[in-house]
Amino acid sequence: MATAPRPDAHCDGSVIDVRRVVCPGSFDPVTNGHLDVITRAANLHDEVVVAVFRNSNKTPLFSIDERVELLQAATSKIPNVRVDRFEGLIVDYCKANDITAIVKGLRAVTDFDYEMQMAQMNYNQAGVETLFVITNPLWAFLSSSLVKDFAKFGGDVSGLVPEVVLERLAGRLIAD
Ligand code: PNS
């Protein structure tokens, strides 16, 4: 695994192996937009690790175990996808798991500034590359937060999230 790159990095004929990549996120919960990015990453790379971020500063709707379980169910038909979890920096997770590149979805220009900064920081600090998949316009408006907000007030989010999430959302919001 590379450490911080020199400005002339990769001009020496060395090749970065991107057979295994990571799709990191909170996935609270996984949406059809996430699945679009994960599926397309799985078509482009040998192995995709979906890494669920545990952020101790936030209280998610779904616990880390539930988010992992829902992702496992939603990606069960994609053989080269596995689901894991992480805390701390994504670049440390990459280093520990021999991963050289992060794959992320870009929905709109509003995502771009922050994602570019994060990608540059991750490359500067650890030489980890970030590859972007442009979200299918079908899902350009979609986010986990909007799904939760609409579901909470009785909105119909079927067609926006996998069936397992829909069922779990219904149970959770009725119970709360
Ligand atoms: O689904 P989200 O909440 O948009 O995912 C954001 C996530 C988890 C991908 C991002 O916050 C992240 O990579 N967090 C890990 C902590 C980290 O490495 N932060 C520094 C990035 S420069």
144 is catalytic: yes
Cα separation of 90 and 92, whole Å?
Answer: 5
pLDDT digits (tens, 9 = 90+) for 24-74: 999 999 999 999 999 999 999 999 999 999 999 999 999 999 999 999 999
Ligand 1 centre distance from Cα of residue 68 (Å): 16
Say yes or no to pLDDT of 174 above 70: no
Ligand 1 interacting residues, C-beta cut-off 6 A: 24-26, 53, 89-90, 118, 121-122
Q: pLDDT for 87-141, tens place per residue? A: 999 999 999 999 999 999 999 888 999 999 999 999 999 999 999 999 999 999 9
**161: in domain:** no
Catalytic residue status for 58: yes
Q: What is the CATH number of the domain that holds 55?
A: 3.40.50.620
Domain assignment present for 62: yes
What separation in Å is there between the alpha carbon of 132 and the centre of ligand 1? 14
Quote the pLDDT of residue 11: 73
* Residue at 64 is within a domain: yes
Rg of the Cα atoms in the chain: 17
For the segment 5-31, the average pLDDT, to the nearest whole number, is 85
Based on the structure, what is the number of domains in the chain? 1
Check pLDDT > 80 for residue 176.
no
- Residue 157 inside a domain? The answer is no
Residue 166 domain flag: no
pLDDT at residue 146 is higher than 80: yes
Beta strands, E only, the chain: 20-25, 47-53, 81-86, 101-106, 129-134
With CA atoms as reference, report the closest residue to 25 among 61, 60, 64, 51.
51
**What is the predicted pLDDT for the residue at 12?**
78
Q: Over 90: is that where the pLDDT of 3 sits?
A: no
Annotated catalytic residue: which of 34, 45, 104, 168?
Answer: 34
Whole-structure pTM value: 0.93
Residue position matching structure tokens 């970065």: 16
| 173, pLDDT greater than 90 | no
Residue 110 lies in a domain: yes
Give me the pLDDT at residue 13, please. 80
The total of other beta-carbon atoms located within 10 Å of residue 113's CB is 9
- Residue 169 belongs to a domain: no
The whole domain housing 100 covers 20-140
Task: Say what the pLDDT of residue 37 is.
Answer: 98
